[in-house]
Amino acid sequence: MANYVRELRLQRAHHLLTHGDASKEQIGDIAYRCGFDDPVHLTRLFRQRFGLTPNELRSSVASPGAETGTPGRPTGLLRTGALRSWIDAAIAATTLFSEILL
């Protein structure tokens, strides 16, 4: 269960970094919004899970063609349609699961 919750938190952080005004928000603030007590802990887990740090991901979003060499084309990490659907489903499942336990 702990691994599942950690995965949801990491996916949420990924989502926050790739959408909206993430470039204006500090990594520490994103960490706390996602349930991490320490931004360093988020960064370590994020790198293990996604292969890059939150700052590196944010930089790749700011300049999508930088990694691929294709201007205006996001990397494979940024296929957000499927990711967004997965996050929504996972959050709904977690909410349902927590209501069942209560």
Spell out the domain ranges in the chain: 2-101
Q: Strand, helix or coil at 15?
A: helix
pTM above 0.75, yes or no: no
Q: Which regions in the chain score pLDDT beneath 50?
A: 66-79
pLDDT of residue 76: 47
- What is the topology classification, in CATH, of domain 2-101? Arc Repressor Mutant, subunit A (1.10.10)
62-77 burial, b at 16+ Cβ within 10 Å, e below that, comes to: eeeeebeeeeeebbeb
pLDDT of residue 2: 87
pLDDT of residue 100: 65
pLDDT of residue 68: 43
